[in-house]
Structure 1
């Protein structure tokens, strides 16, 4: 009796291993080992039942987004779409021709509960060999039909003297009664967004440190001069740098506004470099002040000026908070994007 039970278990394991192996070989044949490229596959490929639901929905949505990209009344977009269409046409022909010549060798299958890991190698003819291949590929770009492109590639692959080989590790999951590949496409996108969040948080932290430094930079006097010919405004600033800021500055970005009026940014190029602890007085003129001067404000309102960035003699920003607000907004957007992906796909 025990022997029969053991034999039945062994038969079940062998059945599961065969199912995983067959799925891996089919995906390998079509070269869909890291991602599902629906726009590159013929309908006859029939790979959708072999793909995890979340990954399949992700791939379909991305394909639909690309197909829906508007090009009307946009010559550059239309040109870009034409290039994309050409690349897709070449890619589809390559995928279909390669499927006829691909060799897939599953070297190991490990099944643990509802998960399976597959090690395999894939090789296809190397048509980048020196000789006539480049001329033939250039010829293929001129062909109008998919069938003609596949036929030409098929011929090139038949003639190829070498093969390109790659090794892959695939993960499969039990989904109902079937084994499906787990590409982890939504998860990979989330990981990429998290990496962006790390960089954004770092930028915000650096901006917060910069704010502390810029507190040492005081605009001790700001006055709006009379408007000239309705176009130009003279503004005089005295910049006092307190001790403790170990830099020499040659330029700055300032932000000015009347109370209750949206701030306006403008650039200040210093006639002479200003070192820590120094001060200087400059008269600025420019259209940047026109809207500011014309904005309605109480007669007693004071001109509010803050320093947003200080740059050295080489033009590089030494201290800046210019991007902080935008980075903080992007952090919120990235968190919302992650939540939307999880809600829709996971």
Structure 2
């Protein structure tokens, strides 16, 4: 029986202008994501999601270990979406080493709920075809990617499910991105780590993306021990830097129990101004705060897009991807 995935995208429409206004604009969808990532049975004790006050969010939200990593994944994904030349060049070299055909490179952000943290995921439904293949580096026939996505998501949560995956893609549940080309319709599982020492080898993973480190080689190379193509890549700024700063402001605000954090926590005046806008509204429901912040955000920076028609779960097994919040960067013309 198919289940429905609700997609809510925050699409960047214009360049970042005023810093405070831009930060407010990205904080709004972050608050939305945090609110609706709360477990339903916990929220039920308060009534409904619409009844949760901002001051209650620090007590209900359980921070996940991968929050910083999620932000870095988005930075890499954003650079791909905007076709940042320095990033595209590195990724193109990595995909050539994986023998991925095609010229129209694409990045698919694959995120899975982790310990109650906000889900941030870009859907692959409009990109993958029924013949999209996953290149594993094995001599076996490349498996079709689309039909396995939901089983891979289930494997993240339940180790017993991993046994049902083909050996060639066992470990694919560790992927953060799928990199490939739309014209070649071939993809590779990619792990993104903000700390290169945390890269792990796994069947189904072919590329490992890490920040380029000073004093170490930044060339794309193969790690024979981990059987990964290592792709050192610069951390791009622009929209994702704003998103990362917005995420940091929210985290500091929650740590301060929905009060204005100490200056040492948010030393920049612009960041403290955004936190102050939140702190003065702590007694109001989160949904009302999100609405109230809209007029002081940057007009036209983000456009909310709900899926026009419901999207069914991909593949077989229990539905894991049950809610999607995706900030989508603006593409340069």
- Tell me, yes or no, whether TM beats 0.5: no
Query: In proportion to residue count, which structure has more strand?
Result: 1
Q: Specify which structure has the bigger relative contact order, considering alpha-carbon pairs within 8 angstroms and separated by 6 or more residues.
A: 2
Query: In proportion to residue count, which structure has more helix?
Result: 1
TM-score by length of 2: 0.19
- Pick the structure with greater CA Rg: 1
